[in-house]
A and B are shown apart, each in its own frame.
Chain A
């Protein structure tokens, strides 16, 4: 309500982060999401130590152990989450898959962020024709949709270089495609913040003092635009992971012998019909929880970073 918003005090910059942190920790759902996300990260980093089997060992695949149900059904304590059709231990495969999915997601979003921040800053600061042109590009890129661009690009790449070569480069390609395709979101947000910040007096003051535009952008404007970037960053990681999973599911992503979560689900899908549901369901649940947590984290950050929003 208009009447009330005016009365909300904006705390000083220094105490602001501690204030946000306190609010964030007070939000049970967001704290839970953060805890689960940290857990996922730890699992991803220490996957080689945590996994009961070494997936690079040639003995890892053993057809004699194929399609063993999870421990609570089969009672086989060697494989906590059962095995897949090639006799691989599901737990180990999922740990490595999570590691791969998170790595691709985070790297892709880092590319997006770098690209988006640069383009957004240039666009917002220079304005005029450059701005017009860059934003038009962003519009077109957005309307083409990441998935569409990624599918077409990867499909052509696969057709051009053949399966074998593609499988070696799959991870790099996924990071690049997802990273390059989603920059407009960051660029637009940064641009909007820059335009808003540019109006403020401190930028004028800095310019009058003879500080160069580059320095103004990076030293003065950028820190003030970081809050929205942080929110988008979290949500975008979840989007990147979904995109990677979908592409892998289509057979355009990670190959079956070096599977991400999406590739695991894709392989497992055919075993749904034969009754070995765990091959598909367990990686699916792992993926869903990861994405849900990222989205909840994003929502939580949005609520607490923006002093104007309040819950009724």
Chain B
């Protein structure tokens, strides 16, 4: 039984009289203790997906159809009090920019304690003890002192630790981390990644990591979902996807990594950029940038097939599979 299962999720944005699709038929599952990454360029809909899971999309956006089930309970149909129960206690979130995530006018302590006290009836003193213990567990020095400080008195890396501590307070089943290290220095990035990994392993929490950094993803996630223009294009075990990417977009992403280029050579960028919401092309949305695009790609949306490595939505892969299969068949004959 899956802990979280998202199926056929459609999220739209209502803008200037237009109804624009940000997420189209997104489906995936997350098991207890599993670490899954969602990868794609900015604008692919990764963050929207993260926010829709806890029903926190901003105003012009709304969930059009589809279901999000947590332990078989439908999140999209929950009332506000029920959602409050889920948020923080079952599913917690870590945001991109630690400088913006903590409320500047409240002390660290107040922001920690309120999270506990809004879910469990507990005295301030007990809550404070738990908070300090959690601050300690994310390797913050002198937590008693930090407890009374304001966010602006802490460095970026320190703040991200505080945020992780906040998330840990209630022992959630799932952590959704939306680019948790993008805004940090490279050295601190590595520490935070290690911290996240340790925490998930030790408490058997599931992690949904939203990232565009394949290096980070390969260190943490067991499974990877690649998104492009609001759709899932490829899904499979991280190792396999990185070693043998099937979808041309995934290949492009991997080729664009600095490690893949020889010194002095240009990076192998994917030509063009992600189309904005109101200019999504017909057929496979990736076809204008795809080196293998055919007429079929321009007109039809490919379905998912299992390539043996991953589940992928691409006509080229489909054709190759049928070709090899028929070759194989011929040989048997």
Contacts and interface: CB of A to CB of B under 8 A. Distances in A.
A and B touching (Cβ–Cβ under 8 A):
yes
Interface stretch (B40-48, B119-127, B132-140): B40-48
Interface stretch (A5-13, A32-40, A54-62, A79-87): A5-13
Given A3-B48, A4-B60, A7-B277, 11 more contacts: A1-B13, A4-B15, A4-B22, A6-B42, A7-B43, A7-B276, A8-B276, A311-B16, A312-B14, A312-B59, A312-B60
Given A312-B59, A312-B60, A4 B16 contact: no
A3 B60 contact: no
Contact of A1 (B16, B42, B61, B276): B61
B333 to A, nearest CB: 52
A72 interface: no
A116 B201 CA distance: 61
A273 interface: no
A3 B47 contact: yes
B60 A1 contact: yes
B13 to A, nearest CB: 6
A161 interface: no
B275 to A, nearest CB: 9
B330 interface: no
Count class of interface residues, chain A: 10 to 19
B48 A310 contact: no
A292 B277 CA distance: 36
6 contacts: A1-B59, A3-B22, A7-B276, A9-B276, A310-B16, A312-B14
Contacts of B47: 2-3
Interface of A: 1-4, 6-9, 310-312
Contacts of A311: 16
Contacts, number: 32
Contacts of B319: none
Q: Which of A7, A310, A312 has the most CB of B within 10 A?
A: A7
Contacts of B57: 1
B73 to A, nearest CB: 27
A3 to B, nearest CB: 5
A310 B59 CA distance: 12
B58 A1 contact: yes
Nearest to A8: B276
A192 B15 CA distance: 29
A4 B59 contact: no
B303 to A, nearest CB: 27
Nearest to B277: A7
Interface in B181-236: none
A11 to B, nearest CB: 13
Contacts of B45: 3
Contacts of B14: 312
Contacts of B42: 6
A4 B42 CA distance: 10
Interface string B256-278: 00000000000000000000110
Nearest to B279: A9
Q: Which of A4, A9, A311 has the most CB of B within 10 A?
A: A4
Interface string B22-60: 100000000000000000001101011000000001111
Contacts of A8: 276
A311 B17 CA distance: 9
A7 B16 CA distance: 14
A3 B59 contact: no
A6 B59 contact: no
A1 B276 CA distance: 14
B58 to A, nearest CB: 4
B276 A3 contact: no
A310 B13 CA distance: 12
